[in-house]
Chain A
Amino acid sequence: MTITPPNSYRTGPDERGLFGIYGGRFVAETLMPLILQLEQAYKDAKADPSFQAELDDFLEHYVGRPSPLYYAERMTEHLGGAKIYFKRDELNHTGAHKINNVMGQILLARRMGKKRIIAETGAGQHGVATATACARFGLECIIYMGEVDIARQMPNVFRMKLLGATVVPAKSGSRTLKDALNEALRDWVANVEDTFYCIGTVAGPAPYPEMVRDFQSVIGRETKEQMLKREGRLPDSLVAAIGGGSNAMGLFHPFLDDKDVEIIGVEAAGYGLKKKHAASIAGGKPGILHGNRTYLLMDDDGQITEGHSISAGLDYPGIGPEHAWLHDMKRVEYVSATDKEALEAFQLCCKLEGIIPALEPSHALAHVMKIAPKKAKDHLMVMNMCGRGDKDIFTVADILGVKL
């Protein structure tokens, strides 16, 4: 099949919330009026300069943006090829990119007069970011988190509690991120009047994929500006890890129409693509879950299967619909890295750069380690260091057989 490239990759979604065939609004009728209301509220906010000004102010003074674009000199020397830069979103307040989106959504919730905020979380980074913003604005905060993830991300669970949030374990199904999402949707259906659902990734019913992308695009906009200032030109390649895909979409989106920029998303290959993994594009097919059509891991009967990744944040059987479309259009290349490769990248980064990365960007770094040596020395490669690894030290210690 030949693909006709669009004039621009940045105009989606259409009025039905679709990117090609992906996206949409596959939700229960109870939620539909609310989804339409949210869509309108977001459109109004986007057109209101005071909304963006307020958001920018919080991003600068509360989140700590812009985050640095850091030249990873020792990593570059070690790999002996491309010149590697890290976009340091792990330096944001709360330690990951998640807060960029949360600040946007919470300001929108305030505009809409909502007082109760719910969110799902996998690794706990989105939960912590949401709990943080709710504390800042005095809003009630309920976080749904899979029971399995609660066990492997204890520090973040405690953080959320310190911040005043209620953490509710999702005990159904695989008891990970997808089930946390189900529980959050069930809560929302029961509390539509006063509740704002702050989704943490570029998935869910429209307008979430677009809205979360817009809020995360600050990553890519800054990267562009910083790279132009630093090197006088655009980067040659971008690499980011993908669970639902919000950090990746945030970095990628401003570059989608710069056709010389090679863009690579790295899914979690878990124990390997032939075994248990969480790589929806590599191992899934199109289906409908959590309000949108996208690539999903499922069996022949359309039942969703349980993924696996060492990283709780990537352990999700789907991917944002815009990524699904960018894959079909072949604008972005989607690859994967295993638990083992991510763990090696994690350790190497600690030793060479003095940065403890989260297990999520460790997947992106694992791919950088594969391709950077083959690139010329003037090849500029940006990897999104989307989270710090403090939350993961227990998981890593456990695997390395170290007792803390």
Chain B
Amino acid sequence: MSTRIDRRFAALKVEGRAALVTFVIAGDPDFDTSLKIMQGLPKAGADIIEFGMPFTDPMADGPAIQAAGLRSLAAGQTLKKTLKLVKAFRVGDKETPIVLMGYYNPIYVYGVDKFLVDALKAGADGLIVVDLPPEEDDELCLPAMAAGMNFIRLATPTTDDHRAPTVFKNTSGFVYYVSVLGITGTKAPDLKSVKKNVNRLRKHTSLPIAVGFGVKTAEQARVIAKDADGVVVGSALVSAIEHNLNKHGKATAKTPKAVHTLVAEIAKGVRS
């Protein structure tokens, strides 16, 4: 069964370039602005959209994404509303893949089966759930794959050759390689070790490998895109939202534009 994600990576392979994967938090800073941001991403150069499901206690995220989650929750965002955003986006865009990324608790409380039905119906294509390692596959990974949803795995610098087969056993769509030991948006990746690790992981999986955590500039994206099949940018975009709010912390006309401008700039790096 081929998904939007599979088709997108296949098409980019023909084009001979890496994908730009962009991450923002759903509902940040509010529902309407978030939709505008999302709608403009493909045109700005995003090939795949990662949409963060906000959570009060994001243990793998740095200050920028923590703050974004709290902004979104304060504006009344819920998992239900996140699926609504996906649905609204799909009205105008049938092809850009959407990956929902977050933590397990809101999904668990929503109900795994109901969530999978509703998320697929809304138009989501894949899931990344930070606190579900392969050891917990029967919680969500296996039901998701059976339902036709890609379950994308995080591989990290601690995923050694011994661990890799476990990590890649039940997964689909692409592999998200976490380029640093640490949380999102804090350290810059060591580009040499990224190259080495991406090539090492290729021995264990034929899936496309996207690289993220700490990628902030077009230049970093350009270098990573040489070896990886995708580059993920998150905290930098989330910070662009934060830095373009008015003094009351509300969105302005500039907010979506700031995100799209930065995406366009990084897209140039990925495509050069």
Contacts and interface: CB of A to CB of B under 8 A. Distances in A.
Nearest to B132: A26
Given A26-B132, A287-B105, 9 more contacts: A29-B154, A29-B158, A29-B178, A30-B158, A185-B59, A189-B60, A288-B103, A298-B105, A302-B110
Q: Which of B56, B131, B181 has the most CB of A within 10 A?
A: B56
Interface of A: 16, 24-34, 172-173, 178-179, 182, 185-186, 189-193, 285, 287-291, 293, 296, 298, 300-304
A285 B105 CA distance: 11
Contacts, number: 119
B109 A28 contact: no
B174 interface: no
A287 B61 CA distance: 20
B55 A303 contact: yes
Contact of A33 (B79, B105, B159): B159
Nearest to B180: A190
A304 B56 contact: yes
B158 A33 contact: yes
Nearest to B167: A29
Interface residues of B, number: 47
Contact of A16 (B79, B80, B135, B163): B135
Given A172-B66, A186-B60, A29 B156 contact: yes
A85 to B, nearest CB: 39
Contacts of A16: 135
A285 B80 CA distance: 20
Nearest to A303: B56
Q: Majority SS of interface residues in chain B?
A: loop
Interface string B181-201: 111001100000000000000
Contacts of B133: 25-29, 32
A288 B57 contact: no
28 contacts: A24-B135, A24-B136, A26-B104, A28-B60, A28-B133, A29-B159, A29-B178, A34-B158, A173-B56, A178-B57, A182-B58, A186-B59, A189-B59, A189-B60, A190-B181, A190-B183, A191-B181, A287-B108, A288-B103, A288-B104, A288-B131, A290-B57, A290-B59, A296-B105, A302-B79, A302-B107, A302-B109, A304-B105
B73 A26 contact: no
A192 B105 contact: no
Contacts of B57: 173, 178-179, 182, 289-290, 304
A189 B154 CA distance: 13
A182 B158 contact: no
Nearest to B63: A172
Contacts of B180: 190
Contacts of A291: 131
Contacts of B131: 26-28, 288, 291
A192 B181 contact: yes
B136 A287 contact: no
B260 interface: no
A190 B182 contact: yes
B153 interface: yes
Nearest to B59: A185
Interface string B123-134: 000000011111
B106 interface: yes
Contacts of A296: 105
Contacts of A173: 56-57, 70
Contacts of A193: 181
Nearest to A193: B181
Given A29-B155, A29-B167, A301 B109 contact: yes
Interface in B17-60: 55-60
A25 B136 contact: yes
Nearest to A285: B109
A291 B57 CA distance: 12
A303 B105 CA distance: 8
A288 B183 CA distance: 19
A190 B156 contact: no
A349 B108 CA distance: 43
